[in-house]
Amino acid sequence: GAGVSQTPSNKVTEKGKYVELRCDPISGHTALYWYRQSLGQGPEFLIYFQGTGAADDSGLPNDRFFAVRPEGSVSTLKIQRTERGDSAVYLCASSQLRDTRAFFGQGTRLTVV
Amino acid sequence: GQQLNQSPQSMFIQEGEDVSMNCTSSSIFNTWLWYKQDPGEGPVLLIALYKAGELTSNGRLTAQFGITRKDSFLNISASIPSDVGIYFCAGQLRMNYGGSQGNLIFGKGTKLSVKP
C-alpha cells in the first residue's frame, strides 16, 4: 500500500484480556519495526523483523508480548493477560532492505481498563 | 538503555522566527533522523543524515550530523503556524564492529507551540 497501515486505530480492553494489533507495511519493505509510545515520551523499540524472522526482540518488556510476521509482510503484535501499564500507543514502521529511513503508521492506541 | 538527550523540551514560536533544537548522546551513532509528530498521528520523517559533518536541507528545515557522531541539530527557518508539533531525533547506534544496530533510538521530543 501507499503507507504503513495499522488496525485497529483504537482498542479498549479489560485487564487480563488478550489483544492483537495488526500492521500492514509499505509494499516491498523487508524490515518491520514495532515501537511503543507512552504519553510525553518518544517511541521505544520493541521488536524488529527482517523478512519473516525476528532480528531483534530485545525491546519486548516480558513474555506476555509476542509478535509474528509469518509471510514477511503483515505483522501481528500479541499481548497476553493485558495490564493497565500496557496502555500506550503502539507504532509500527517499515523500511527497505539496508535503508535506515523508517516510515511509521498512525499507531494503535491501546487502553487497558 | 541508551539515551538521547533532546533539548529544549518545549519552546514557543512566533511566526517568522527561526527555531533550533538538538540531540546529544554519550554514544556514537551511524545515522541520525529527524521526525515530526502531530497529535493522533505517527511520526513523519523529515530528514535523514548518514555521515559525520553532513548538512542536509528539506525546504525550511536544515539538519546536521555532528562531527563527533554523538549529536545532531535541527533548524527551522522562518517558522509558520503549521510547524507546531513535536519533533523527535532518532539514531542508529554504532556497534563495536562498526555496523549499525537495527532499530532506532528516539529522544523524548521537542514540543513546538505558538506564542500566546
Q: Is the model more confident about B65 or about B1?
A: B65
- Choosing among A21, A34, A44, A100, which should be mutated to test the B contact, i.e. which has the most B CBs within 10 A? A100
Predicted confidence (pLDDT) per residue in B5-20, tens digit: 999 999 999 999 999 9
What average pLDDT does chain B have?
Answer: 93
CB A59 within 8 A of CB A4: no
**Residues pairing with B112 in the sheet:** B11, B85
Which residues of A fall below an 8 Å CB-CB distance to B?
Answer: 4, 31, 33, 35, 40-45, 48, 50, 55-56, 59, 91, 93, 100-107
Closest by Cα among B20, B21, B26, B19 to B3: B26
Q: How far is B78 from chain A (nearest CA, A)?
A: 26
**Residues pairing with B103 in the sheet:** none
Q: Is the peptide bond before A8 cis (omega within 30 degrees of 0)?
A: yes
Whether the pLDDT of residue B3 is over 80: the answer is: no
CB A111 within 8 A of CB A17: no
What average pLDDT does chain A have?
Answer: 95
Average confidence (pLDDT) over A48-77: 95
Question: How far apart are the C-alpha atoms of A60 and A20, rounded to whole Å?
Answer: 15
